[in-house]
Amino acid sequence: MCGIVGIMDLDGGPVDLHDVERMNRVIGHRGPDDVGYHGEPGIGLGMSRLSIIDLDTGHQPVGNEDGSLQVVLNGEIYNYRELRHKLQQKGHRFATAGDTETIVHLYEEHGLDCVEHLEGMFAFALWDAPRQRLLVARDRLGIKPLYYGCFGRRLVFASELKSILQLPEVERRIDWESLDHLMTFLVTPRDASIIAGIHKLEPAHILVTARGEVPCRHRYWQVRFAPDDSLSEEDAAAALGEQLERSVRSHMVADVPLGAFLSGGIDSSAVVATMARSSTEPIKTFSIGFTDRRYNELDDARLVADTFATDHHELVLEPNVTDIIEELAWFLDEPFGDSSAIPTYMVSKLAAGEVKVALSGDGGDELFGGYDRYLVEQREQRLEYLPPPVRALMGAVSRQLPEGVRGRNWLHHMSMSGSSRYLDANSLFRTDDRRSLYRPEVRELLAGADPLQAALAALPENGCHWLSKLQKFDIEGYLPLDILTKVDRTSMAHSLEARVPLLDHKLVELAATIPPRMLLGPGGGKQIFKRAMRGILPDRIIDKPKQGFAIPLGRWFRGDLDSMLRDVLLSDTSRKRGIFDTDQIERLILRHEARGNLDLQLWTLLSTELWMRTFLDASPAVAGAPPGYPPRGAIARPAPSHGQEVPR
């Protein structure tokens, strides 16, 4: 696990490695064990290494036999031993014992198709000096991040956005459509970032460019839902159990201490149970809870820990989380609407005190239909039979009702059909509510932008089961943009490698063959996964209602964090930005105090303002902060008027 950075001069000119070093320095938390650089005309590569495999010879960048190829890798290649053996049989000579070197020799054999042979989580950059060609690749599910952008005649890339912001030619200008997407779906878009001109490389994509050429992207894999109706439930459950065991075993390969996150839910419990069967030593497990028992799963986590005799560690998170929230603005890299980043950050900190690698259970809800929203959509499928004129009437009535009136949003939602209804149900701010957040100048900039329509275009084509369609949409969007981003940033903030065995791509492909009828049932989602785990996990874990990794944020905002919320969102600093209508935000706060149902909306607004103070208002000294130094005091720090393009 590492952080990688790089600069390519598209004209073949020199690259100042001091620029690469500046980019690398701010992500030192991703790899505090080692740094490495490679520079030659046209290219500069850098990396910060967290040593997990091959502690002695695993320095990066890594070259081939004659040094004409150089690669930097963030992540782990789980099948590197098998690949290494095959490559050695073909005459390739290895200088290290780790996984990174496998990539350069695969490239020698297969060129750009080398990525198709890799199993694991990765983002890597490979420089081919003879061809003056750069290959940048990201893993199939988007477990590891990669940002990039072209500025002048330079292509720059990095594991985190903040690295690219260190370059003087990069203007810190907000991408307004990304901001609008954030206020709709809690995250910025798949292929863009909150900063104009900086993009995400999407999962399962490669980016290729050569000297004098325009960079081009290519997708090399996608999950295809093709249910096998001949599959019996018994065979499906057995196949899942076998593939999970293979995946967990491969994810346990490490030369450093290893453990697991344990929430008490079925996914993390299944990972822990499988780890315990594959280990001769007690597995270290880590859980977090709250004083509010409605959000506390520690009893269930303890049950699993006792069942499998783990070395269990837990922490109760108290409401005084102001410092955590400010630190998150630095480490999350972009505004982020998922407040479960708070407990994920803290459980990562807890684990990092004991291990360098932690396995998690993320991905199970997408693969096996575990989200409650799938059950809601299953119930609402009957609305497809409503005559279109009735739907149109309900929509017209909803538009006549004032904002905040009970029933307005319900009528609007019921007037929709199919995928539009699903997206509406999972929107943070609906269209009218979102527009009312912005100042008139911002609304003008966003004229014609519609995140919901863009999301509809990304949904799979008709022809597959509605559940498969939504699962694929979430696997390609919500999973990498929210879940995996949260886990990557919060774990790496503490120099901890988080691995996700449920997202082994072969397990994902297997899950895509399971008929939808085996997923949703009277007992909720994940029916086939529950069957696979029956007899392995305690029945209480399998049969309990889904809880999710929620926190009592709404109550905190009405109590201990109320003053912070007001001090940040209603401050002169926020007003002077000219982005949000502060009066409208104050109305939201008052509505939340009265009804308590706007915690995620307020969290997203808070996260956005703290991000702006951290990355747009920060002085150059803070913007180039050394590793491990997130800017603090964002609430009290006066914000200068420069550093952000404000609409005029």
φ, ψ of residue 222 to 5 degrees: the values are: -155, 150
The DSSP output letter for 183 is H
Report d(CA 119, CA 247) in Å as an integer.
10
Q: Give me the pLDDT at residue 628, please.
A: 42
- The whole-angstrom separation of Cα 453 and Cα 437 is 20
pTM: 0.92
- How far is residue 408's CA from residue 352's CA, in Å, rounded to a whole number? 47
The CA-to-CA distance between both ends of the chain, in Å, stands at 43
Amino acid 642: pLDDT: 26
Lowest mean pLDDT among 295-304, 458-467, 470-479: 458-467
Q: How far does Cα 304 stand from its chain's mean position?
A: 27
Task: Give the mean pLDDT of 482-502.
Answer: 97
Cα separation, 432 vs 403, whole angstroms: 9
Q: Report how far residue 494's alpha carbon sits from residue 353's, in angstroms, rounded to the nearest whole number.
A: 9
Q: How far is CA 570 from the centre of its chain?
A: 29
Domain 233-370+473-543 is found in CATH 3.40.50.620? yes
pLDDT of residue 618: 67
Our separate counts of H helices and E strands in the chain read 30, 17
Cα separation, 253 vs 525, in Å, equals 31
Q: How confident is the model at residue 321 (pLDDT cuts 50, 70, 90)?
A: confident
Instruction: Dig out the tokens for 426 from the structure.
Output: 């999972």
Per-residue confidence at 462, pLDDT binned at 50, 70, 90? low
Q: Name the residue among 648, 626, 621 with its Cα closest to residue 640.
A: 621
Check residue 404 and give its pLDDT. Answer: 66
**In this predicted structure, what is the pLDDT of residue 292?**
75
pLDDT band at 259 (very low <50, low <70, confident <90, very high): very high
Using 50, 70 and 90 to split pLDDT, how confident is the model at 421?
confident
**Cα 341 from Cα 321, distance rounded (Å):** 12
CA 16, CA 22: separation in Å to the nearest integer? 10
Opening angle at CA 273, ends 272 and 276, nearest 5 = 85
pLDDT computed for residue 418 by the predictor: 78
Residues of each domain in the chain carrying CATH 3.40.50.620: 233-370+473-543
The more confident residue out of 29 and 644 is: 29
Q: How do residues 200-258 score in pLDDT, each as one tens digit?
A: 999 999 999 999 888 999 999 999 999 999 999 999 999 999 999 999 999 999 989 99
Is-contact 23 158, C-beta < 8 A?
A: yes
The pLDDT tens digits of the residues spanning 99-118 come to 999 999 999 999 999 999 99
Q: What pLDDT was estimated at residue 396?
A: 85
From 41, 195, 219, 61, select the one nearest 142 (Cα to Cα): 219
pLDDT at 632: 35
Radius of gyration of the chain (CA): 24
- Active-site positions read 2
Region 499-503 average pLDDT: 98
Q: Average pLDDT in the 460-484 region? A: 90
Instruction: Indicate if the pLDDT at residue 587 is higher than 70.
Output: yes
Mean pLDDT of 311-338: 88
Domain covering 2-219: architecture? 4-Layer Sandwich (3.60)
492-496-497-499 Cα dihedral, nearest 10 degrees: -100
Q: Where in the chain is the domain with CATH 3.60.20.10?
A: 2-219
Beta partners for residue 48, in sequence order: 3, 35
Asked whether the beta carbons of 422 and 373 are under 8 A apart, the reply is yes
Question: For strand 34-40 and strand 154-158, is the pairing parallel, antiparallel, or unpaired?
Answer: unpaired
Alpha helices by DSSP H, 136-212:
161-164, 176-185
Predicted pLDDT of residue 482: 97
Helix (H/G/I), strand (E/B), else coil: 214:
coil
CA 18, distance to chain mean position in Å, is 30
Give Cβ neighbours of residue 338 (< 8 Å, ≥ 6 apart).
186, 187, 482, 486
Q: Mean per-residue pLDDT for 530-542?
A: 97
List strands edge to edge, sheet with 34-40: 34-40, 43-49, 2-9, 154-158, 147-151, 199-200
Give the helix/strand (H/E) hosting 475.
helix 466-476
Is the pLDDT confidence value at 566 over 80?
yes
**Which regions of 83-131 does DSSP assign to beta strands (E)?**
120-128
The helix-helix angle for 562-569 and 599-615 (nearest 10°) equals: 50
**Is the distance from CB of 127 to CB of 209 less than 8 angstroms?**
no
Q: Cα–Cα distance between 292 and 319 in angstroms, integer?
A: 10
Q: How far is CA 198 from the centre of its chain?
A: 17
User: What pLDDT is recorded for position 496?
Assistant: 96
3-class secondary structure, 429:
coil
pLDDT at 317: 78
- Output the six-digit token pair for 246: 């293979």
How far apart are the C-alpha atoms of 147 and 166, rounded to whole Å?
Answer: 13
Supply the pLDDT for residue 273.
98
Residue 268: both structure tokens together: 């993390």
Is the CB of residue 437 less than 8 Å from the CB of residue 183?
yes
Closest Cα to residue 360, out of 240, 275, 300, 254?
A: 275
What's the mean pLDDT in 410-430?
Answer: 84
Is the preceding peptide bond at 620 cis, omega within 30 degrees of 0? no
Lowest mean pLDDT among 174-178, 317-321, 327-331, 428-432: 317-321
pLDDT tens-digit readout, 132-156: 999 999 999 999 999 999 999 999 9
289-298, 362-371, 551-560, 635-644: which range is least confident on average?
635-644
Residues 26 and 162: beta-carbon distance below 8 Å = yes
SS3 286: strand
Structure tokens at 473: 């949409």
CA angle 83/89/92 to nearest 5° reads 80
The residue that leads in pLDDT, 406 or 10, is 10
Tokens of 464: 């597959």
Q: What percent of the chain has pLDDT over 90?
A: 73
Give the 3-state secondary structure of residue 66: coil
